[in-house]
Amino acid sequence: MKTAVQTEARARSIRLWITSGPGLFWIILFLLIPSIVLLGIGFFTANDYGSPVLPLTTTPFQQVAGFSLLGWDDGNIIILLRSLEQAVIATVVSALLSYPIVFFIMTRPAALRPLLLLFVILPSWTNQVVRTYAWLELLGPNAPVTWLAHALGIVPPDLGIAPGAFAVTTGLAYNYLPYMIVPLYASAEKLDWTLVEAGRDLYASGIRLFWHAVFPQTVPGLLSGVIFVAIPAFGDYIVPQLLGGDKSLMIGSLIANQFTETPDWPYGAALTIITLVFTGAGLVAFRILTRRIGGSGEATI
């Protein structure tokens, strides 16, 4: 005969499966299994068509580290650093742009705010490729912005801003801006205005008032935004592919190339796994760091 305690424990475990099951299923199907498959492919040898064949080898991972038949090459390290740099700049730019936008929306009448927020999110409902092509036009050789760049001597005549590193930064910051604005808005909406009054009461105004009384309250949203922007920007494929050109190759494009243009599946798989490891490590490091600098400021996703 079952005791009440056993029945209760059983019910609890059923509840646990029902609530966490779908999420677990999703992660296993779309993250874990593909990653394991890729990890496996990473240990095969590429044949002439780039497909994985036996024997098993660690060559793809050596390729990732920069070793090839021609000796060591810093190409991959540069691409990795460039991806990191682009992700950091895009994150900083989108954060700087988000604050004025968020506070503009917040100070509008309550009825208008959801609409304004919708305008922020709306572009991300259209295809990223289409929007990136639009930027290609906007920053191309015959665009007004480019004329200005020509006049200032930033870009040589006859060339556009795109393709180029600056165009990539612009494209990334633009593309992931909503992912910064939304979490930031969520935390700014909960802003305790009494703290702002306390700041004013204690002789703070202007930028110092913002820095001491407003900014700390938005840190949780900002940190979420940083994660939402930095990680996808780091591995973005479309923006560097369309706006980057040959000299602005990023990790996403490098991986894609191994499955399309110059097929080498095992090398592409190894690159993917290493990128995944880097991203995961970065995420963990970021969490530890933010937990250390501010007890209340831990990033929530």
**C-alpha dist (Å) from residue 81 to 77, 129, 198:** 6, 24, 43
CB of 190 vs another protein, minimal distance in Å: 12
Backbone angles phi, psi at 165, to 5 degrees: -65, -40
Q: Does 216 contact another protein by CB under 8 A?
A: yes
Contact window for another protein (CB under 8 A) among 64-72, 107-115, 166-174, 290-298: 290-298
Q: Which CB, 125 or 203, lies closer to another protein? A: 203
CB of 216 vs another protein, minimal distance in Å: 4
Q: Which CB, 137 or 197, lies closer to another protein? A: 197
Q: How many CA atoms lie within 13 A of 18 on its CB side?
A: 6
Per-residue string for binding with another protein, 237-276, x by CB under 8 A? ----------------------------------------
Q: Which CB, 84 or 204, lies closer to another protein? A: 204
Q: Which CB, 226 or 238, lies closer to another protein? A: 226
Q: Which CB, 153 or 206, lies closer to another protein? A: 206
Beta carbons of 187 and 102 less than 8 angstroms apart: no
Q: Does 188 contact another protein by CB under 8 A?
A: no
With CB under 8 A, what is the number of residues at the site for another protein? 23
Q: Which CB, 217 or 253, lies closer to another protein? A: 217
Q: Does 289 contact another protein by CB under 8 A?
A: no
Measured CA to CA, the distance from residue 97 to residue 94 in angstroms comes to 5
Per-residue string for binding with another protein, 138-177, x by CB under 8 A? ----------------------------------------
Q: Does 191 contact another protein by CB under 8 A?
A: no
Per-residue string for binding with another protein, 196-215, x by CB under 8 A? -xxxxxxxxxx-xx--xx--
Measured CA to CA, the distance from residue 290 to residue 149 in angstroms comes to 39
Helix axes 265-293, 215-234, angle to 10 degrees: 170
Q: Does 192 contact another protein by CB under 8 A?
A: yes
The DSSP call for residue 67 is E
Q: Which CB, 188 or 270, lies closer to another protein? A: 188
Provide the sign of the torsion angle of the four alpha carbons 178, 220, 186, 210, taken in this order.
negative
Q: At 281, is the secondary structure helix, strand, or coil?
A: helix
Closest CA to 214 of 232, 193, 229: 193
Residue from the set 7, 14, 294, 300 that interacts with another protein by CB under 8 A: 294
**C-alpha dist (Å) from residue 10 to 3, 16, 20, 113, 174:** 11, 10, 15, 46, 50
CB of 197 vs another protein, minimal distance in Å: 6
CB-based burial of residue 287 (10 Å sphere; 0-12 exposed, 13-18 middle, 19+ buried)?
middle
**C-alpha dist (Å) from residue 17 to 23, 24, 30, 47, 253:** 10, 9, 19, 44, 39
Residue from the set 194, 260, 262, 300 that interacts with another protein by CB under 8 A: 194
CB of 195 vs another protein, minimal distance in Å: 5
Residues making contact with another protein (CB under 8 A): 192, 194-195, 197-206, 208-209, 212-213, 216, 219, 294-297
